[in-house]
Amino acid sequence: MGCFHSKITKHTPGYEDPTILAAETPFTVSEVEALYELFKKISSSIIDDGLIHKEEFQLALFRNRNRRNLFSDRIFDLFDYKRNEVIEFGEFVRSLGVFHPNAPVSDKVAFAFRLYDLRNTGYIEREELREMVLALLHESDLVLSEDFVEMIVDKTFSDADTKGDGRIDPDEWKEFVSRNPSLIKNMTLPYLKDITLAFPSFVISSEVEDSE
């Protein structure tokens, strides 16, 4: 049994033991502690209640609390497992774990599927795909004709919907990603590989030994 001195720190309401989070995610204990420092910073940026609200998430991502974006909204919602409109520390670490370079590819594929399944039906539907393409065009200055958008959506759908039932199910998605691995490229954040080195200012002195 380990004996260590814990710094007296006020933990946030959703705080969870780093050793438990490290055991459940690709992070080491030190990395979870570094993430806690990051979490505290983000979660106190607007409302200092130790929880990340959607505005704080947007502010951290875009340096602008009012900048909304369909995909960042979706990511926030997926991080918010409990669906209580805030991200707690455990949710933050477990969700970011999916983006770790060492996380299983299957977790990344599943996360991306949930991200694109806008209406949580268990399928990616053609209308959802179209909606996402239009949202991207709206946020960028890219101008594509409606016909062109329809053509891209049709083409993608005919490639992915191998069963031809008008929707992409998780198996079809998995297969489609295996043919197009770049689709989950943004599910990996190299920053997370060694967050303690990348962000030394977040590292607090800890005598908890990393088990790995």
- Give residues in contact with another protein (CB under 8 A): 38, 42, 60-63, 69-75, 96, 99, 116, 129, 132-133, 135-136, 139-140, 148, 151-153, 155-157, 159, 180, 182-183, 185-186, 189, 191, 195, 198-199, 201
Residue 45 in contact with residue 54, Cβ under 8 Å? no
Amino acid at position 41, single letter: K
Closest CB 136 distance from another protein, rounded Å: 5
Structure tokens of 202? 């977040």
Closest CB to another protein among 139 and 165? 139
Closest CB 155 distance from another protein, rounded Å: 6
Closest CB to another protein among 49 and 148? 148
Closest CB to another protein among 38 and 203? 38
Please tell me the distance from the alpha carbon of residue 106 to that of residue 104, in angstroms, as a whole number: 5
Helix (H, G, I), strand (E, B) or coil at 42: helix
Closest CB 76 distance from another protein, rounded Å: 10
Total count of residues recorded for the chain = 212
- What are the backbone angles phi and psi of residue 3, rounded to the nearest 5°? -125, 120
Closest CB 22 distance from another protein, rounded Å: 19
Count the neighbouring beta carbons within 10 Å of the beta carbon of residue 187.
19
User: Which residues is 125 bridged to in the sheet?
Assistant: 167
Closest CB 140 distance from another protein, rounded Å: 7
Closest CB to another protein among 22 and 160? 160
Structure tokens of 185? 């490229």
Closest CB to another protein among 23 and 148? 148
Helix (H, G, I), strand (E, B) or coil at 58: helix
